[in-house]
Amino acid sequence: MTFRFFLVSIILNLPLATPVIFIDLSHTFDPSIPFFPTQVRFNFTQRIVQLMNEKNKFFYATNAFTTSEHMGTHIDAPYHFSPTGWKVDEIPLSHLVFVHARIVDVSKQCSQDRNYLITIDDVKNSNLSVPESDAETGEKFSFVLIFYTGWTKYWPDQTMYAGDKSDLHFPGLSEQLATYLVNTYGDRFVGAGIDTLSTDYGQSKTYVVHQILARHNKYGLENLALTDNLVNSVQTKFFPLDVYPMKIGNGTGAPCRIVARLNNPKRISK
C-alpha cells in the first residue's frame, strides 16, 4: 500500500486492505529433481549468446527443455486415467483459480510409516467442514484438499523422497479415502494435492486413487512444496489457492505454478 493510499484511506475512513502474501507451493525445475521412474525426466539446454557485433551489441539468452508432463510440481488431468476425463486444457479456470484449499496434516502418521495410506479418519479428525456455497459469491464452494505428509523435506533427494527406483516408498491416499471424498463432497471437491510424487502411495501397482479421482473428473496436484510454517499458519482454515498449469492441448497433465494467498503474514516466515 502506498503512503498516499494510506492517507486517503484514513481521510475517507475506508477499511485498510489486509496485506496479502503469496506462498509459492511449487518446486523449481532443474534436471536433478526427483522423478517417477517411468516418466521422461526434465532436460534443460541453456543457450546464451553475447552478440558482439559492433553496431547491435546486446545480450541474448534462450533455453530449451523436454520433460514428461508429470515432472516436478504438476497437475494430473482427469484424462491421465480416464478417456472421458478433462484434458489439462479443458479443466475450467473456476476449478483452478481462486479455489478454496484446506490442508490435512498427516505428517506424524507418515513419519512412522513411509508407506502410510491416509485414512478417512485422518480427514474426519481434521474437522473438515465444507460449506455448500461461497459466503462472498454465493457460488458453489469449490475446494482442493491438500495432504501434508512432510515429504517436502526430502526434496530433492531421489532416494529419500521416492525410495529405490524399482521399489518406491512414499505415503499416499487410501482407496477408501478417495471414494469417500468423491462421494461425500461431490461437485464441491475439485481435486486432491500431496507433497509426494503421487496421490497413490509408492507401493501401488494399480493407481487406484488416480482411477477413482479421474473417473469423477477430479484432478491431482503432485510434488507440492509445503512447509511446517504454512501448515501451522493455516491450521484447519480454508485459504485461497491458484493453480496455473501450462495449457497443453490433449495434455494428461502439466507443470504448474501453484500459489497460496494468505492474509495473516505475521504468522508466516520462510
Ligand X SMILES: *[C@@H]1O[C@H](CO)[C@@H](O)[C@H](O)[C@H]1NC(C)=O
Which residue ranges make up the site for ligand X (CB under 6 A)?
43, 45, 126-127, 236, 249-250
By C-beta, is 45 or 50 nearer to ligand X? Answer: 45
By C-beta, is 17 or 93 nearer to ligand X? Answer: 93
Contact 200, 208 (CB under 8 A): yes
By C-beta, is 194 or 234 nearer to ligand X? Answer: 234
- Closest contact distance (angstroms) between CB of 45 and ligand X is 5
Element (H, E) at 211: helix 208-215
- Closest contact distance (angstroms) between CB of 26 and ligand X is 22
Nine cell digits for residue 53: 557485433
- E-assigned strands of 180-249? 189-194, 219-222, 239-245
The whole-angstrom separation of Cα 247 and Cα 258 is 14
- Closest contact distance (angstroms) between CB of 195 and ligand X is 18
- Closest contact distance (angstroms) between CB of 237 and ligand X is 10
Best CA proximity match to 170, nearest among 122, 134, 222, 124: 222
- Closest contact distance (angstroms) between CB of 64 and ligand X is 7
Contact 117, 149 (CB under 8 A): no
What's the Cα-to-Cα distance from 167 to each of 23, 162, 204, rounded to whole Å?
33, 9, 10
By C-beta, is 43 or 159 nearer to ligand X? Answer: 43
By C-beta, is 1 or 48 nearer to ligand X? Answer: 48
Nearest residue to ligand X by CB is 249
Kindly tell me the burial class for residue 142, based on how many C-beta atoms sit within 10 Å of its own C-beta (0-12, 13-18, 19 or more): buried
